[in-house]
Amino acid sequence: MATPRSLAEAVRIRAEANPDGELVRVAGGTSDAAMRTAAGLYEHAEILARGLARWIGPGAAVTTAVEPGTATIALSTALSILGAVEVALPAGTDRVDAHRLATATDSAATLVAPARLAAQPWLADLPARTRLGTAPTTALEQLDPHPLPHHRPQLETPAVVMLTSGTTGRTKGALLPNGAGLGQARRVQRAMAYTPEDALLSFFPWQHVNARHAAFLPAVISGARLVVWPRFSASRFWQTAAAEGVTAFNFMGAVCAMLLRQPPGPHDRGHLVRRAYGGPAPAEMVHAMAERYGVRLRQAYACTELGDVATTGAEIRPGAAGRPVPEYDVEVRAGELVVRPRVPALTAIEYVGDPEATATAWRDGWFHTGDQARLDDGWLVVEGRSADVIRRRGISIGASRIEDAVAQFGGVAEVAAIGVESELTEDEVLVVVVPTTEGLTPAAIHAHCRDVLPRHAVPRFISIEPTLPRNQSLKVLRRILRERGLPPDAWDAERPAPHQQESP
């Protein structure tokens, strides 16, 4: 089989090898049947590409805000056919961040799904050189066809901008080449050994590398099929997996924690799933998933900028994130994990419009992850994040971003944000607030945060206190707050008390 050099080429090669075999469907059978096969998906993508070719060509940036499903995958395939760079905005993207990325990439057009537009009307006002409206992809089919550009993709050709939250606290757009997604897909495939008999379940957003590069593309190149589940539900997970014939899925630790909290049911073993790919998962979780559900967790360490750096194959060490892959040099320096590619076109090219962040992350050819780790007999063990980064539901959040948002609220004198232990294996956000006046309530602060922060960054816990611990240079000692943990009287957004904690 030929070696693809882009997402579109991977789909086309799959279509030529097995035109009638199913490639992707939406759980519950709600997807367009005509786009379930690789041939149907590619044919639909070509129609979209010809309609968009009047305005969009190789290298042009296109901002997308879309919903999960086969039509969305066809749209991304169409942009890949054109050689365009997709700027993929996930749901809940901050307006300022979206505007900054559209401006930095000189976006040629904005394509917005109606549901996304209803939730965030300002998406229609993003900077773009061409206005194509906000029609769904079915309406884009009605555009007059134009000749496709003569475009020969290369692995180093820019392909997509994926959003990532870094240690600076500001959302960054990582510009990934074709080789990044295809390389990650091959590494996932090598670890999981998928075959045409496999069905992979994906419930992550299409704007996340997990869905695009660690689920869809591995299915494409392995001959497997992908089941897209737009809305994850722990209570219906095993029933859905059984109904769709799923054999594997991608996970974060929070997913497994939610599954293990479900009451025993008839579908606990009434399914075909035998392995899952992702992380983090402590040793006890690995054992619990295997014992209760018969699923072996194959852990990995990955990030948007690099894809998979360490993976686990048939040999498993519970609690470890796998062994470093041969495509990367991996070292631990002063406790921090640093990574260098051994082959070209595997990693992010830059953070678009942010040369300072790019220079900070990449030094002397090494990418500094900001994660604390150690190598134990060849196994990578991730021990935590750099001090001021909070990891919640698979997303890194800079504490300063949360603090800046809370500080904007009237009545707040000082604020510190930290991560506290979550029952879902990662962190929950706690903000400690020093008020300027009496009467400041956590509920009011929380409502403000919901208005100005992405969903994953909104604090769950809020504690109003008279002072913050500081050192002699007056820097806030977050370490002291982390060591103290969650105050027993902290306000909990998931279990708000009848009376709200007020300023002391």
Split the chain (504 residues) into runs of 10 and give each run's mean pLDDT.
93 97 91 89 97 96 94 97 97 90 96 91 90 64 91 96 66 96 98 98 93 98 97 94 98 83 91 94 87 97 96 89 97 94 97 95 94 91 71 76 86 89 83 89 96 92 91 65 93 73 54
CATH code for the domain of 486? 3.30.300.30
Say how many CA atoms lie within 13 Å of 136 toward its Cβ.
11
CA distances, 405 to each of 93, 257, 365, 459 (Å):
15, 30, 34, 11
Q: Does 184 fall in a domain?
A: no
Q: Does 211 fall in a domain?
A: no
Residue 399: the pLDDT is 79
β pairing state of 336-341 and 491-492: unpaired
Task: From 129, 144, 159, give the residue that closes a domain.
Answer: 144
Q: For residues 292 and 171, is the Cβ–Cβ distance under 8 A?
A: no
What's the rounded Cα separation, in Å, for the pair 8 and 48? 13
Q: Does 466 fall in a domain?
A: yes
Q: Does 299 fall in a domain?
A: no
Q: Does 66 fall in a domain?
A: yes
Q: Does 288 fall in a domain?
A: no
The β-bridge partners of 374 are 381
Give the number of other CB atoms < 10 A from CB of residue 186: 19
The β-bridge partners of 237 are none
Q: For residues 412 and 406, is the Cβ–Cβ distance under 8 A?
A: yes
Number of domains in the chain: 2
Q: For residues 218 and 168, is the Cβ–Cβ distance under 8 A?
A: no
Predicted TM-score (pTM) of this structure: 0.81
Residue 165: the pLDDT is 56
Residue 348: the pLDDT is 98
CA distances, 54 to each of 48, 78, 144, 148 (Å):
11, 13, 9, 9
Burial of 406 (0-12, 13-18, 19+ CB in 10 A): buried
Query: Residue 396 belongs to what domain range?
Result: 389-492
Q: Does 119 fall in a domain?
A: yes
Q: Does 247 fall in a domain?
A: no
Task: From 99, 129, 144, give the residue that closes a domain.
Answer: 144
Q: Tell me how many helices (H) and strands (E) the chain has.
A: 16, 25
What's the rounded Cα separation, in Å, for the pair 347 and 256? 28
CATH code for the domain of 109? 3.40.50.980
Helix (H, G, I), strand (E, B) or coil at 2: coil
Task: From 98, 119, 144, give the residue that closes a domain.
Answer: 144
Residue 502: the pLDDT is 53
Token pair, residue 399, equals 């504490």
